[in-house]
Structure 1
Amino acid sequence: MIRFEGAGKTYPGQARPALDALDLTVEAGTTCVLIGPSGCGKSTALQMVNRLVVPSTGRVLVEGRDVAGLDPIALRRRIGYVLQGVGLFPHRTVAQNVATVPGLLGWARARIAERVDAMLDLVGLDPTEFRERRPDALSGGQRQRVGVARALAADPPVLLMDEPFGAVDPVARARLQDEVRGILGKLDKTVLMVTHDIDEAVRMGDTVALMRDGRLVQAAPPAALLAAPADAFAAEFVGGDRLLRRLSLLPARDHAEPGPAGDAPRLSAADASLKDALALMLASGRDRVGLEEGSVSLSRLRAAAEAAPPA
């Protein structure tokens, strides 16, 4: 668990705090995404967790312990860190990069080698093919995978991700987001992530925390944030197409009406969303699509998009 209790930061020469009395809890095993305009305080908050930034007021707790009382080096070895541009050591091989923290912790060589291969497998890189490569021989997406493998190598309970997909080309970004989200779901990590991209926040977060001028505006599950923004700023930030974004979070099967679909076009993927259903309706010119559980009509889809989020 990560908890901010009145955490604030005022840098010398600044008229207002970069972070102003933040109260926020990231429950164990969940992902919280900090989002907001440039200068809103999201990166300052993230860097407080591993003591790269020291609070001026309040405190930050990790697993119930105030980080101010912990040795910063020992703390950082227990927190994975993935950042924009990855930050791989260019003169070291992929295996050596992934082994960085286990090596600092004094793991045995055989244990490190086994862990490196396991982590590369986890992120979809064949160890026999990638182990001895250097970062300049990798694509942007491959470098990002290595960065995730390195951050997870010592099995830290907490993972920080600072604009982790910002250096990945747009074509690969959505696929990589889904893959990393799946990996994190399997590993039960507590994750705090920073992004400026609302679509990425909605895709990655169990909770999305929207910030403005150093203050927390709203923290809610993605579907709730999209359905009921807290104020005009939140509504503007999530965008006029927020209901369309919300459809991507709602599984079509959960809104299926029983009975045969007739000759309606069918959704092929078992995990298809209502956004997928809408896309098929638009492509086919029909107001209903079929799936294994029955069918989804346009009216049902519209009602789902506009429904109030669960309490």
Structure 2
Amino acid sequence: MIRFEAVAKRHPGADRPAVADLDLTVAAGTTCALIGPSGCGKSTTLRMVNRLVAPDAGRVTVAGRDVADLDPIVLRRGIGYVLQGVGLFPHKNVAENVATVPGLLGWKRGRIVARVDEMLDLVGLDPARYRNRRPAELSGGQRQRVGVARALAADPAILLMDEPFGAVDPVTRDRLQEEIGAILRRLHKTVILVTHDIGEALRMGDTVALMRDGHLVQVGTPERLLAAPADDFVETFLGGMRALRRLDRLRVHERVSAESASPPLPAIAPEASLREALDRMLATGATRLAAGSGTLTLEAVRDAARLPDGSA
């Protein structure tokens, strides 16, 4: 668990705090997406976890221990860090990059070699093809995968991700969000993700913390933020596609009825999103889809998209 308790930080010469009176808890094994306008304090907040930035007031705790009381080198070796642009060592090959922290921790060579291959497999890169390549020989998406493999190599309990997918193209970014998000959930890592992309925050975050001018405006599950924005700023920030974003978060199997799917209907996978189901209906002209042993209706999709105030 990571906790921020009444944390404040003002950078030298700044006319207002970068972070002001921040109280936030990130439960163990969950991902918290920090989002907000440029300069809102989200990256400063993240960097206080591994002591790259020291708070002026309050405290940050990891597993109940104040990070200010911990040796910063030991602390950082136990925290994975992924940032925009990846920061791979250009003079080292992929295997050497992934092995960075295990090497610093004194792991034996055989264990390191096995772990490198395991991590490359985990992020979808064939070790035989990629372990000896240099970063310059990789695409942006491949470099980002290597960055995640390096951050996870020593099996840290905590992962900090600062705009991790901002430097890749939109198609690659969407795929990385889905794949890396699934990996982190499977490994039960505690993650803080800083992003400017609301879609990324809603897709990857178990909770989303929206900041403005150093203050925490609202924190909650993606579904909660979409359904009940705390104020006009949150509603505006989420944009005019709240209903569609809500459908992105909900699964077909959550809205399927036991009605028999006959006559034969267009099919949709039960694990697909309701947004995908809506796209399928629009493409086929159908108002019902077969989903496993049940049926998904257009009315069920509409009900799911409808917000508590009745707007959509």
| Contact 2:48 2:55 (C-alpha < 8 Å) held by counterparts | yes
Q: Which amino acid aligns with 2:150?
A: R
Partner of 2:48, secondary structure, is: helix
- Where in structure 1 are there 5+ consecutive unaligned residues? none
Asked if residue 47 in structure 1 is aligned to residue 52 in structure 2, the reply is no
TM-fit CA distance, 1:308: 4.7
Aligned equivalent of 1:251: 251
CA deviation after TM superposition for structure 1 residue 304, in Å:
1.5
Q: Which residue is equivalent to 1:62?
A: 62
The corresponding residue for 1:261 is 261
Partner of 1:170: 170
Aligned-pair distance for 1:268?
3.6
Distance in 2 (CA, whole Å) between partners of 1:266 and 1:154 is 46
* Cα separation, 2, equivalents of 1:87 and 1:256: 45
Give secondary structure in 1 for the equivalent of 2:249.
coil
Structure 2 regions of 5+ residues with no counterpart? none
1:49 match: secondary structure: coil
Shift of 1:265: 4.0
Which residue identity does 2:182 align to in structure 1? G
Give the secondary structure class of the aligned counterpart of 2:160: strand
Q: Check whether the contact 2:83–2:162 (CA below 8 A) recurs between aligned residues.
A: yes
Residue number in structure 2 paired with 1:123: 123
TM-score by length of 1: 0.97
SS of 1:149's equivalent? helix
Superposed displacement of residue 291, structure 1: 1.3
Which residues in structure 2 correspond to 1:65-144 (within 5 Å)?
Answer: 65-144=65-144
For residues 91 and 217 of structure 1, the distance between their equivalents in structure 2, rounded to whole angstroms, comes to: 43
Contact 1:33 / 1:208 at 8 angstroms: preserved in 2? Answer: yes
Q: Deviations over 1:59-103 (max 9, x none)?
A: 100111101111111110000000000000000000000000011
SS of the residue 1:248 aligns to: helix
- Contact persistence 2:160–2:191 (CA under 8 A): yes
* One-letter code aligned to 2:168: V
What's the offset of the Cα at 1:263?
4.2
Q: Which residue of 2 aligns with 1:276?
A: 276
Which aligned pairs between 1:150-229 and structure 2 lie closer than 5 A? 150-229=150-229
Superposed CA RMSD in Å reads 1.3
Q: Deviations over 1:113-168 (max 9, x none)?
A: 11111111111111111111000011111100100000000111100000001111
Give the C-alpha shift of residue 285 in structure 1: 2.1
Question: Structure 1's 175 and 128: CA in aligned 2 closer, same or farther, altered over 3 A?
Answer: same
CA 1:264–1:250 in 2, change beyond 3 Å: closer, same or farther?
farther
Percent identity, aligned pairs only? 65
| Counterpart contact for 1:267–1:277, Cα < 8 Å | no
Total equivalences in the alignment: 309
For residues 264 and 288 of structure 1, the distance between their equivalents in structure 2, rounded to whole angstroms, comes to 10
